[in-house]
Amino acid sequence: MIALTDVSRTYPGGVAALASVSLRIEHGELVAIVGPSGSGKSTMLNVVGTLDRPTSGTIHIDGYDVSKLSDNRLSALRATTIGFVFQSFHLAPKVPALDNVADGLIYTGLGRAERRRRAAGALERVGLGHRMDHEPHELSGGERQRVAIARAVAGDPRLLLADEPTGALDSVSGAGVMELLRELNASGTTIVIITHDREIAAGLPRQVRMRDGTIISDTTAVAPEPSWPAETGVPG
């Protein structure tokens, strides 16, 4: 799903936000990219999400070399393949949840009725079928983040990028959002979560740790050994 090869991103003044980063994430993975402020993880999200272009190196998303895509084709890739969830929700005020989600599908070329149908389905999927007519100010923080997730998945993207998705939530709401992301991953969506929270990262199957624009570790959780005799292959 994601392949970065020697990717660097240098900003004016010589600030290297990413320095020769190589990373591969397979279809269906659930990955945390974790690090302190200034580690390069947000820049990583921007280049993976095609919101920013690297200074050097190559990026392939779902088989596409993004350096060879025009701005219009990049927009199409984002509209059909990549969903984004941000810490600050980015919901339009005084707009019902249903339309906040449906408006996220405008660039797909779908008609209004189909956008609203898909939006309703996405809100049902995140457990907010009973809150479709509520505006953001009428929703809790956890509910607003669920609306944001519904907007991200309404187009059925194969890749979901979540930037500090629990950062603005209390612990209970945050746990609910993480459980929802796990459910989406179990249904086949590749999910990359950008976070500074080591506890959240530790609960995910794979953790990519960053510091000073480089990857310093890439670990995968080890499954426990079976509790039955190896030679029988069946539970004892």
Q: How does pLDDT run across 42-79, given as a tens digit for each residue?
A: 999 999 999 999 999 999 999 999 999 988 888 888 88
- Residue 227 clears pLDDT 70, i.e. is over it: no
Give the residue from 55, 75, 56 showing the smallest Cα distance to 64: 75
Q: What is the mean pLDDT of residues 125-137?
A: 93
98 pLDDT tier (thresholds 50, 70, 90):
very high
> Is pLDDT at 225 greater than 60 in this prediction?
no
Average pLDDT over residues 75-87: 87
| Residue range 202-224: mean pLDDT, rounded | 85
Query: To the nearest whole percent, how much of the chain has pLDDT over 90?
Result: 62
**CATH 3.40.140.10 fits domain 27-53+79-220:** no
Instruction: Calculate ∠ Cα 202-204-208, nearest 5°.
Output: 75
The per-residue pLDDT for 90 is 87
